């Protein structure tokens, strides 16, 4: 994903899925149309900051949280393993995040032995 609208759309989808919300429910909570939410999540639509604010408010996250660690520079992203891990983990629900964290901690224990 190289464009900012795709990155933001993926982040919105990640937060929505973590909260187990459908696109329809998020649309209802934010006052946006469900089709519009889908278009934003797929990176098909340029959206206004007002719409982003409504969506982040419905997701109960701050604008800074949504935009945290976003870098459109594809080369910089590919060479930044912690950022790639962050994006990967962010796309998982909380139970999956916890499981992946435990796996990483177990792997780390064995590396030091």
Can you give the pLDDT at residue 25?
A: 97
| pLDDT, position 30 | 97
* Tokens found for residue 22: 């459908």
pLDDT number for residue 50: 96
Q: What is the mean pLDDT of residues 34-38?
A: 96
- Give, in order, the Cα–Cα distances in Å from 110 to each of 39, 101, 106: 44, 15, 7
For residue 88, how many other CB atoms are within 10 A of its CB? 11
Measured distance CA(38)–CA(105) in Å, rounded: 36
pLDDT for residue 1: 40
For the chain, give every domain's residue range: 4-111
77-108 pLDDT, tens digit per residue, is 567 788 778 778 877 878 888 999 999 998 98
H or E stretch including 44? none
Taking the C-alpha atoms of residue 45 and residue 42, their distance in angstroms, rounded to an integer, is 8
CATH class of 4-111: mainly alpha
pLDDT at 48 over 70: yes
């Amino acid at each position: 994903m190289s464009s900012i609208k795709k990155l933001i759309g993926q982040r919105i989808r990640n937060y929505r899925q973590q909260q187990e919300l459908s696109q329809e429910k998020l649309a209802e909570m934010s006052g946006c149309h469900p089709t519009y939410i889908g278009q934003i999540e797929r990176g098909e639509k340029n959206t206004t900051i007002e719409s982003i604010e409504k969506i982040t408010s419905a997701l109960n996250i701050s604008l800074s949280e949504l935009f945290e660690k976003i870098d459109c520079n594809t080369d910089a992203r590919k060479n930044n393993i912690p950022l790639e891990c962050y994006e990967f983990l962010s796309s998982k629900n909380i139970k999956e995040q916890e499981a992946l964290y435990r796996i990483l901690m177990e792997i780390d224990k064995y590396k030091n032995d």
